């Protein structure tokens, strides 16, 4: 099974409307979504829906509001992957 970081990187790479400021290979987890990666609030919502679709969570997009770092997203993925 893929690690949460692998899932995150694949979704970022495969989603055409999510752009990041740094090379995908440099993402380790501590980066801030907005300040370091350049993912704004709309990007977070898009990221949420891509992850939610993949993991079939059925959660509301309000979950993404609390995400400020890559680690926050990875924790969500960990909690929801089977």
User: Each residue of 15-68: pLDDT tens digit?
Assistant: 988 999 999 999 999 999 999 999 999 999 999 999 999 999 999 999 999 999
- Are 38 and 2 in contact by the 8 Å Cβ rule? The answer is no
Task: Output the 3-class SS for 45-67.
Answer: HHHHHHHHHHHCCCCCHHHHHHC
User: Each residue of 5-29: pLDDT tens digit?
Assistant: 999 999 999 998 899 999 999 999 9
pTM over 0.95? The answer is: no
List the domain range (segments joined by +) for residue 29: 4-80
CATH of the domain at 28: 1.10.1200.10
Instruction: Name the domain count of the chain.
Output: 1
């Amino acid at each position: 099974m893929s690690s949460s970081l692998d899932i995150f990187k694949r979704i970022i790479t495969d989603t055409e409307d999510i752009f990041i400021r740094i090379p995908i290979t440099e993402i380790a987890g501590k980066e801030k979504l907005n300040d370091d990666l350049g993912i704004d609030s709309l990007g977070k919502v898009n990221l949420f829906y891509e992850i939610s679709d993949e993991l079939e969570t059925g959660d509301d997009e309000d979950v993404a509001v609390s995400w400020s770092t890559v680690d926050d997203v990875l924790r969500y993925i960990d909690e929801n992957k089977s």
